[in-house]
């Protein structure tokens, strides 16, 4: 499937960065994150998008001193420069703060080009700026978000949305599923698979030798011994008990309401939540500015900031680039960790 060449731990990672929705804050946070020249000592950045879009936002933010190089020949990147791959030729209107199908189309072109080049081994990993799921959705993108698209595109059996912050890592069992449908997706097979994906990622990507994982319950009070739901007793607890019997450090299910407030999250290397907001609400409260969304379980490395398009502040030079910067650094660290692990196993 992929002709990706092994990454050398002595080299600077070539990090692809998609612009995301060009009417959101994606272009702004990309420009701000890359405006610090020291980042070129760490990575070779390759932006997938449009020089016209970059020029527009560069001028809007008064950062016209930021320089970049257009990639003329496929795969020929300047190691000490910001490289830009133009992903479309047609003129697409830039209207900061206003959703449009044109912007959704541009976001998809950027994403597909980055995926194409990582499969060809031209980049070592990539960071995706936020997309608008409504404007990008269509026949060419019938997915709920990046995670589902990338899981299918890279032919992974399953993946794990893993939110990574300075003080915690939170994975999600059901990801982008309507709340009314969550319970039917909580199966023994799915819960076990997500726990195993988390354990593998913590070992391989974060170099944690014996990860300690906490699993949250689905229902209030973790079902209260069956009084408020039986998923804990019938589905979640049997999986935990089975994995424990095999030597895994997996604990729970814990009532989600008091788990974070009591500080229990600090005792674990990873926390598995049953559904999106159960995990992301406390995560973003605790680690919003520096939080990163990492797709564990893929053969490649993909990260993204933990925020959306933020149309309300797009084009106003108010967007905080901290999460995007952390996404770049995390992708770099994971690429090196995987390369180091490969070398160590030879």
User: For position 342, what pLDDT does the model report?
Assistant: 60
Q: Which two tokens stand for residue 168?
A: 């915690």
Q: What is the mean pLDDT of residues 207-229?
A: 91
pLDDT above 50: residue 2? no
Contact status, residue 103 vs residue 23, Cβ threshold 8 Å = yes
Distance CA 262, CA 260 (A): 5
**Comparing 1-156+299-346 with 158-297, is the CATH topology the same?**
yes
- Helix residue ranges, H only, 76-145: 101-119, 133-136
User: Over 60: is that where the pLDDT of 203 sits?
Assistant: yes
Residue 151 has pLDDT above 60, yes or no: yes
CATH number of 158-297: 3.40.718.10
Determine the average pLDDT of the residues in 201-206: 97
Report the pLDDT value the prediction gives residue 314, as an integer from 0 to 100.
97
pLDDT tops 60 at residue 7: no
Structure tokens at 298: 């893929």
What does the pLDDT read at residue 144? 82
Task: Classify 110 as helix, strand or coil.
Answer: helix
Cis peptide before 93 (omega within 30 of 0): no
**Predicted pLDDT of residue 8:** 57
* Residue 63 and residue 27 in contact, taking contact as beta carbons nearer than 8 Å: no
What pLDDT, on a 0 to 100 scale, did the predictor assign at position 1? 39
CATH of region 1-156+299-346: 3.40.718.10
Does residue 24 surpass a pLDDT of 90? yes
DSSP state of 35: T
Residue 141: pLDDT over 80: yes
Cα(268)–Cα(15) distance, integer angstroms = 30
Question: Which has the closest alpha carbon to 83: 122, 131, 130, 26?
Answer: 122
6 pLDDT above the threshold of 70: no
* Inter-residue long-range contacts of 140-149, CB under 8 Å, 24+ positions, other chains counted: 140/108, 141/108, 144/175, 144/176, 145/175, 145/176, 146/111, 146/295, 146/302, 146/304, 147/175, 147/176, 147/295, 148/175, 148/176, 149/111
Domain residue ranges of the chain, discontinuous segments joined by +: 1-156+299-346, 158-297
Task: Say how far apart CA 340 and CA 6 lie, in whole Å.
Answer: 11
Q: What percent of the chain has pLDDT over 90?
A: 82
Q: What pLDDT shows up at residue 10?
A: 53
Listed range (93-107, 131-145, 178-192) with the worst mean pLDDT: 131-145
346 pLDDT tier (thresholds 50, 70, 90): very low
The per-residue pLDDT for 340 is: 85
152-180 residue pLDDT tens: 999 998 999 999 998 899 999 998 889 99
* HSE value, Cβ hemisphere, 13 Å, CA-based, for 73: 3
């Amino acid at each position: 499937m992929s002709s990706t060449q092994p990454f050398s731990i002595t080299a600077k990672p070539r990090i692809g960065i998609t612009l995301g929705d060009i009417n959101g804050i994606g272009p702004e946070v990309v420009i701000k994150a890359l405006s610090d020249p020291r980042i070129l000592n760490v990575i070779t950045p390759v932006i997938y998008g449009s020089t016209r879009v970059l020029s527009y936002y560069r001028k809007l933010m008064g950062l016209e001193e930021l320089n970049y190089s257009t990639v003329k020949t496929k795969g020929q990147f300047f190691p000490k420069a910001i490289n830009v791959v133009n992903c479309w030729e047609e003129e697409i209107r830039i209207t900061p703060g206003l959703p449009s199908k044109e912007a959704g189309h541009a976001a998809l072109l950027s994403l597909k080009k980055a995926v194409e080049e990582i499969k060809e081994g031209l980049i070592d990993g990539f960071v995706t700026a936020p997309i608008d799921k409504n404007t990008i959705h269509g026949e060419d993108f019938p997915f709920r978000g990046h995670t589902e698209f990338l899981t299918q595109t890279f032919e992974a059996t399953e993946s794990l949305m893993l939110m990574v912050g300075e003080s915690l890592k939170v994975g999600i069992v059901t990801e982008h599923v309507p709340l009314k449908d969550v319970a039917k997706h909580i199966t023994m097979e799915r819960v076990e698979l997500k726990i195993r994906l988390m354990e593998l990622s913590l070992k391989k990507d974060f170099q944690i030798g014996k990860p300690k994982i906490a699993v949250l319950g689905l229902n209030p009070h973790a079902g209260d011994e069956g009084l408020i739901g039986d998923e804990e007793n019938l589905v979640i607890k049997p999986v935990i008990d089975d994995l424990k019997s095999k030597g895994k450090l997996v604990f729970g299910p814990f009532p989600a309401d008091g788990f974070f407030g009591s500080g229990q999250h600090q005792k674990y290397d990873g926390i598995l939540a049953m559904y999106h907001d159960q995990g992301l609400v406390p995560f973003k409260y605790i680690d919003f500015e520096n939080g990163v969304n990492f797709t564990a379980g893929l053969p490649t490395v993909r990260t993204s900031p933990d925020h959306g398009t933020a149309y309300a502040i797009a084009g106003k030079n108010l967007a905080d680039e901290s999460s995007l910067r952390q996404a770049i650094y995390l992708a770099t660290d994971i690429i090196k960790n995987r390369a180091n692990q490969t070398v160590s196993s030879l």
